[in-house]
Amino acid sequence: MKFSLSSVFLTLLGASSTLASPITKQAMSPEQSFGVLTLHSGNINVHQKEFYVGQSGYVFLSQYDNADNYAKFSLKNNQLYHNNDTALIEQGGALAFKSSGPAVTGFDANAPTNIGYELQLNGTSPVACPVPSDQQVFQVYYGQVKNSTDCVGIDTVAVSF
């Protein structure tokens, strides 16, 4: 079999244009249920973890605080919902779902990834900080976190059910 330089070049060019093609997906429909997956290589405690909502309403990256299995979320009018509770950011930056308190707006999941949609709040990603009583359990925060030397930035992806 004889290969020419031009045929090799054209093959590589075709392969690279296929790999460089933008991801095309339909936008996530309003009120569609999804789970949240975190990404952060280099830290086993926060990489490829799900969001869990504890009994307190706070969000963790493991089943902590009597959290239910597989938390389901939805977006409506740029607000993030878990069950019938809207997301709020407590003083100190903790993400929580409670029936009382001012709901935070600015959540979106518009940028497609290869596994879902990037979930952000006003264009920012959250951080995960260890719970003081258990350094293997991480809690989710947005914005500036006080005493955050052990916190790590995470990317969050909304993954449809």
Distance CA 110, CA 120 (A): 9
pLDDT of residue 24: 63
Distance CA 159, CA 109 (A): 10
pTM of the predicted protein model: 0.82
Distance CA 104, CA 140 (A): 15
Strand, coil or helix: what is 84?
coil
CATH number of 28-160: 2.80.10
DSSP per-residue string spanning 23-77: P--PPPPTT--EEEEEE-TT-TTTTT-B-EE-TTSBEESSS-SSPPSS--EEEET
pLDDT of residue 8: 33
Q: What angle (nearest 5°) sits at the alpha carbon of residue 143, between those of residues 140 and 145? A: 70
Q: Mark the ranges of the chain whose per-residue pLDDT is less than 50.
A: 1-13, 15-18
pLDDT tens by residue, 56-84: 999 999 999 999 888 999 999 999 999 98
Distance CA 129, CA 132 (A): 9
Residue 96: burial class (beta carbons within 10 Å; 0-12, 13-18, 19+): buried
Ramachandran angles phi, psi of 56, nearest 5°: -70, -15
pLDDT of residue 4: 39
Neighbours of 2 (CB within 10 A): 4
pLDDT of residue 7: 40
